Amino acid sequence: MILIGPPGSGKGTQAELLREKNSFVHYSTGEVFRDLIRRKTPVGLQVEKYVTSGGLVPDAVVLEVVNSFLAENAGKPILFDGFPRTIPQAEGLDKVLAAKDLAVDMAVLVDLADEEVVKRLTSRRQCRKCGKIYNLTFKPPKVAGICDDCGGELYQRKDDMEAVILDRLGTYHHQTEPVLGYYSAQAKLKKIDGALGRDRVYEEIVRLIGAA
Ligand code: AMP
């Protein structure tokens, strides 16, 4: 299953819920890249400039990282979050899956208007240690700047600054929206209004999974 949506639409939060309650393997290419950057691996150094500027990592690099993940996890119920983000990535994924006699079952769009994206992301904070996501407006931590779960320090991602958010939105509209047409043509696209809020979006996704 694939979760698509503009940055800040709540894909990461939904993916976490689905992982905890429905035992999906959650694979977020954004999280993978942030981890490689933190660890200063060769791929991390290569992708850092794209991630911090809000641009897209080149398709070949993304597909290589995803292929090595699939080599170990294909066949499990996988939830892709933030991948595929371009048509070549969607085609690349279909090709690898087809070689293993597998296919994407469903692509879910969690949609959100640009103004709401900017509002949500400028107040988003993340734990440096465990990656948990907070929002200063909707879901603040109990103690300012500290993670409720692990006591780690909360920080603002560089790509959550307003100018970068606008670039990320532009990238989403130009490069990722065509992916919706790709899955719609295969009759695999489902749409959910991200403005419904965390719990109702989750219920809706669970309903779609049940129906599938
Ligand atoms: P995310 O956490 O999904 O918002 O991703 C953060 C950043 O990682 C994006 O702005 C891109 O620079 C990079 N990234 C994550 N996933 C992809 C992907 N599938 N294709 C290209 N770049 C990606």
Ligand 1, atom 14: closest residue by C-alpha: 30
Q: Percent of the chain having pLDDT more than 90?
A: 76
Q: How far is CA 21 from CA 15, 89, 178, 197, 202, in A?
A: 10, 28, 31, 18, 11
Rounded to an integer, the average pLDDT of 156-169 is 89
Distance from C-alpha of 13 to C-alpha of 96, rounded to nearest angstrom: 27
Q: For residue 212, what pLDDT is reported?
A: 79
CA of 203 to the centre of ligand 1 (A): 26
The string of pLDDT tens digits covering residues 163-187 is: 889 989 999 999 999 999 999 999 9
Kindly give, in sequence order, each residue whose CB lies less than 8 Å from that of residue 47, ignoring residues fewer than 6 positions away: 33, 36, 37, 57, 61
Mutate to test the pocket of ligand 1, among 4, 27, 33 (most ligand atoms within 8 A of CB): 33
The string of pLDDT tens digits covering residues 40-73 is: 999 999 999 999 888 899 999 999 999 999 999 9
Enzyme catalytic residues: 11, 85, 124, 157, 168
CA of 84 to the centre of ligand 1 (A): 9
Question: Does the C-beta of 176 come closer than 6 Å to ligand 1?
Answer: no
Distance from C-alpha of 89 to C-alpha of 83, rounded to nearest angstrom: 8
